[in-house]
Structure 1
């Protein structure tokens, strides 16, 4: 998984994204005189169906209004990185408290919704690498959990982080500590895949998790294939089937149980690989497949892109590059309740 415009590949780069965040800052509170956002109750387990929202680029929508318009009750917010040493911060720059990120989280909660912070991604200074021990990494995760009273976290482990056996082990060990201290916090690990399922790094990560007794949900990103794959529905199903087989073997559980511990995060519209794209109809088939197997997580990158490009232009940080309705993927995902 090498390309920069995906969920984990921040097109503008971290430095530029931080500047863009200021330009595209989200006013998460309703404007004076506006009707208050409709409150909804999150029916699905925390993190099960939250699409990715990134405040760093792509003209992000008002989060509370987005929930009201789409029927979604969850959002996955990206990305928490290291701000020097082992200190967690949004994009490695913005503090956990007092800024637009907390403002957005508060607005989502006020609207009856739920958020799942995503740690890591492709770019930037990752906590999983910056923290010197599992104990320090667990403390960084705990700081974020405590800051927002979280019910779930997503570890988007990619690039050099997932490629390092030391980092893979540190991440699993840290999450095991977190789980011991937060029995009710759901843990998701998200990573790249081949059309046949996880590569050797992903397989080892799952094996380490099983050996540690980590009760987590494992999600692959079935896009940005480098082998000419164009049938994204078939490739998503085969990727998740392969993931299920690895989890089944590692945990010694049944097919049915393994499907309920896995999931996927797609990419809406044109991806980073020439000739590869996911249409709304494709995503609907993916969600139907998830319903069939009761997958633990379904998501996509990103809300920012879940709208057509003005004048039929090319895909960018703020549009998908395909013929679709505004928030069409999000509305499909809202229908997934496990």
Structure 2
């Protein structure tokens, strides 16, 4: 005999509760998986420090001779359109790439930085001059302009600093995006991927409406962005009076983080919070900002370093490495921004070291060292060396350059018989400064020649007056004041009290004063 148990039915309420539990469990599982994926994706993206260097600013900043490990990662600025050729790249509208190679020795200095384990990226645009995509309307020529720079300096990262009129030029934004996207695809196919960062102005409320439009156009154009770098500087009225520069910067970063998420969703990509922090960069202006009263201090730098590490910020930068030092007593107005100093008393501290503390540097490019070894000493070929090969019997004046064991050296003062790569002499004891390696494709620099009869030969008995020019041992000299009997030899030895100054190539080639042979 069997016994039947009556079945139970779930009430509507119980069924509803069960559905909620099931949905919650599925949602929690999905969100948990998504969070794991977000954290995993973020972990694969580096968080790095790299400081901007103004390539054309004076005094010249020796980025190829970094004083601290934090100074080994630089963003060289700015490549813009040539004023006379809208589709030709130039450095600061002043030097073509070839001119920068000869006048600034830029290629050799980049090679030297890489020998020391450093990295260099290139920034296009900036506040001044005309951005390439604004002036170049030919799509193919624009791609070629970007390609020229990327290939010449063999960079793996570029920075697109969009400011001023370029911000509102939507046609330029589309051209830029299409050109960079094409270049990225081209390089990816060749096994040389190109990382791209957008740099845009921000205030404590995040990106400006124009900045958001630039990001949107860039993503729509197919560019694979490594990230968006916000400039937290020159806030003006947007910064609350009670806020420090670091507090305003943190506010800008948090707002930009949310804005970036919305922009990516608008482009069809939903990124997690951790990944978005990795796709956000932040650049501060150290010391005195362009806006009067806005000063980014070393304490602000410490705060930003802590924030960057806590959030896993993808990039931390500063404007600029040129300015990372205390101004000299001769700089009269600390309220006025200088290209060569910060405007505050830094003591022995560096902003770059403070900001980069425990933050990684970009992956280094492996470059064989040109340092000579007993096993392999580079052969110096006079027919291809850019400067004369060093000779133990020759005398060299300050700024003279020579080639020795595959490297270029520059004399710091008059010297004879001092081996340029002496491994013992340090700092001020050596008369030579290592500039960088001899580069593939180097050719001998034209020798400075003075046409026969241009200047008379120096004669001990002759009286010379200020501005008189003479020839002595193949070099040209100009009298600094009245003189008789004083040999220009002392000027070759860099003696400050010599009445003679050796003429540079530019001075020799300039018309100069009309000089006749002085009467005895």
Map of 2:388 onto structure 1: none
* RMSD between superposed Cα atoms in Å: 2.2
Moved more, 129-138 or 148-157: 129-138
Q: What is the rounded CA distance, in whole Å, between the counterparts of 1:209 and 1:124 in structure 2? A: 21
Map of 1:93 onto structure 2: 94
Q: What is the rounded CA distance, in whole Å, between the counterparts of 1:303 and 1:320 in structure 2? A: 10
Shift of the 228–246 alpha-carbon distance from structure 1 to 2, 3 Å rule, reads: closer
Map of 2:231 onto structure 1: 221
Q: What is the rounded CA distance, in whole Å, between the counterparts of 2:145 and 2:349 in structure 1? A: 33
The question of 1:245 aligning with 2:233 is answered: no
Shift of the 326–306 alpha-carbon distance from structure 1 to 2, 3 Å rule, reads: farther
Shift of the 163–326 alpha-carbon distance from structure 1 to 2, 3 Å rule, reads: farther
**Aligned match of 1:323 in 345, 350, 353?**
345
Shift of the 68–316 alpha-carbon distance from structure 1 to 2, 3 Å rule, reads: closer
**Aligned match of 2:169 in 141, 164, 172?**
164
Moved more, 97-106 or 85-94: 97-106
CA displacement 1:114-144 (0-9 Å, x = unmatched): 1111111111122121111444322211111
Shift of the 155–145 alpha-carbon distance from structure 1 to 2, 3 Å rule, reads: same
Please say if residues 197 and 241 of structure 1, whose CA atoms lie closer than 8 Å, have aligned partners that are also in contact: yes
Shift of the 308–147 alpha-carbon distance from structure 1 to 2, 3 Å rule, reads: same
Please say if residues 46 and 114 of structure 1, whose CA atoms lie closer than 8 Å, have aligned partners that are also in contact: no
| SS at structure 1 position matched to 2:203 | coil
Q: What is the rounded CA distance, in whole Å, between the counterparts of 2:276 and 2:320 in structure 1? A: 26
Map of 2:295 onto structure 1: 277
Map of 1:203 onto structure 2: 212
Shift of the 49–322 alpha-carbon distance from structure 1 to 2, 3 Å rule, reads: same
Q: What is the rounded CA distance, in whole Å, between the counterparts of 2:211 and 2:238 in structure 1? A: 21
Shift of the 133–253 alpha-carbon distance from structure 1 to 2, 3 Å rule, reads: farther
The question of 1:175 aligning with 2:198 is answered: no
Shift of 1:76: 0.8
TM-score (norm 1): 0.81
Q: What is the rounded CA distance, in whole Å, between the counterparts of 2:348 and 2:60 in structure 1? A: 13
Q: What is the rounded CA distance, in whole Å, between the counterparts of 2:231 and 2:167 in structure 1? A: 13
Moved more, 317-326 or 120-129: 317-326
Please say if residues 63 and 107 of structure 1, whose CA atoms lie closer than 8 Å, have aligned partners that are also in contact: no
CA displacement 1:197-252 (0-9 Å, x = unmatched): 11111111122233334221101101111216252111111111122112111222
Please say if residues 305 and 355 of structure 2, whose CA atoms lie closer than 8 Å, have aligned partners that are also in contact: yes
Equivalent pairs counted in the alignment come to: 294
Map of 2:320 onto structure 1: 302
Moved more, 287-296 or 96-105: 96-105
TM-score (norm 2): 0.54
| SS at structure 2 position matched to 1:182 | helix
Greater percentage in helix: 1
Map of 1:69 onto structure 2: 68
**Aligned match of 1:155 in 156, 160, 164?**
160
Please say if residues 46 and 152 of structure 1, whose CA atoms lie closer than 8 Å, have aligned partners that are also in contact: no
Shift of the 49–204 alpha-carbon distance from structure 1 to 2, 3 Å rule, reads: same
Please say if residues 80 and 131 of structure 2, whose CA atoms lie closer than 8 Å, have aligned partners that are also in contact: yes
Please say if residues 46 and 74 of structure 1, whose CA atoms lie closer than 8 Å, have aligned partners that are also in contact: no
Q: What is the rounded CA distance, in whole Å, between the counterparts of 1:265 and 1:327 in structure 2? A: 19
**Aligned match of 1:104 in 89, 106, 109?**
109
| SS at structure 1 position matched to 2:207 | coil
Please say if residues 193 and 199 of structure 1, whose CA atoms lie closer than 8 Å, have aligned partners that are also in contact: yes
Structure number with larger C-alpha Rg: 2
The question of 1:119 aligning with 2:124 is answered: yes
Q: What is the rounded CA distance, in whole Å, between the counterparts of 1:325 and 1:278 in structure 2? A: 15
Shift of the 326–136 alpha-carbon distance from structure 1 to 2, 3 Å rule, reads: farther
The question of 1:132 aligning with 2:132 is answered: no
Shift of 1:326: 5.2
Please say if residues 45 and 278 of structure 2, whose CA atoms lie closer than 8 Å, have aligned partners that are also in contact: no
| SS at structure 2 position matched to 1:202 | helix
Shift of 1:298: 0.9
Shift of 1:46: 9.3
Q: Which has the higher contact order (CA 8 A, sep 6+)?
A: 1
